[in-house]
Amino acid sequence: MAKIGLFYGTQTGNTETIAELIQQEFGGETIVKIQDISETDAGDFEQYDCLIIGCPTWNVGELQSDWEGFYDELDEINFSGKKVAYFGAGDQIGYADNFQDAMGILEEKISQNGGKTVGYWPKDGYDFNESKAVKNNRFVGLALDEDNQSDLTASRVKSWVAQVKQEFGV
């Protein structure tokens, strides 16, 4: 059984493509099981000690709609003892005041329910005004921007996965 559960939502496919890149970088589907949050129930989280959560920001600072629908169910999951890494897709130019907010909203909720955040990521190389995903001057997870910096995605994923592998201990 895969050790890591990756749960994602997407509107236009970018977050799904990134999820597959992350899976590949970890070593494939025997290591990382990918699950669409629209086809997930709370119990699906229980079997993993290591989780990856992927969500794009939509509608100016909001969760992607399937994550929006799942948000209250997050309170039914006990994340204590689980390490949780986050990634998000956003648009730092079009939505500079809400860049990656969804990643911050999910991280806050899951941390409140006991999850230990790993995979913090520096703000260097981005240009935006405000983000709910920034805490203590760094992103709470991997911030990707397919609208403006898609050429950086592969290398960002590569170095973030190397970091998270260590933090997960896999």
Ligand X SMILES: Cc1cc2nc3c(=O)[nH]c(=O)nc-3n(C[C@H](O)[C@H](O)[C@H](O)COP(=O)(O)O)c2cc1C
Which residues contact ligand X by CB under 6 A?
10-15, 56-61, 64, 89-91, 95, 98-101, 146-147
User: Please, what is the minimum distance in Å from the beta carbon of residue 114 to ligand X?
Assistant: 27
User: Please, what is the minimum distance in Å from the beta carbon of residue 47 to ligand X?
Assistant: 25
User: Please, what is the minimum distance in Å from the beta carbon of residue 132 to ligand X?
Assistant: 10
Rounded to whole angstroms, the Cα distance separating 7 from 165 reads: 17
> Given the complex with ligand X, which of 18 and 84 has the nearer CB atom?
18
CA dihedral 14, 20, 25, 29 (to 10 degrees): 160
Nearest to 22 by CA among 104, 71, 85: 85
> Given the complex with ligand X, which of 10 and 117 has the nearer CB atom?
10
The residue whose two tokens read 């799904």 is 16
Is the CA virtual torsion 166, 57, 131, 103 positive or negative?
negative
> Given the complex with ligand X, which of 5 and 54 has the nearer CB atom?
54
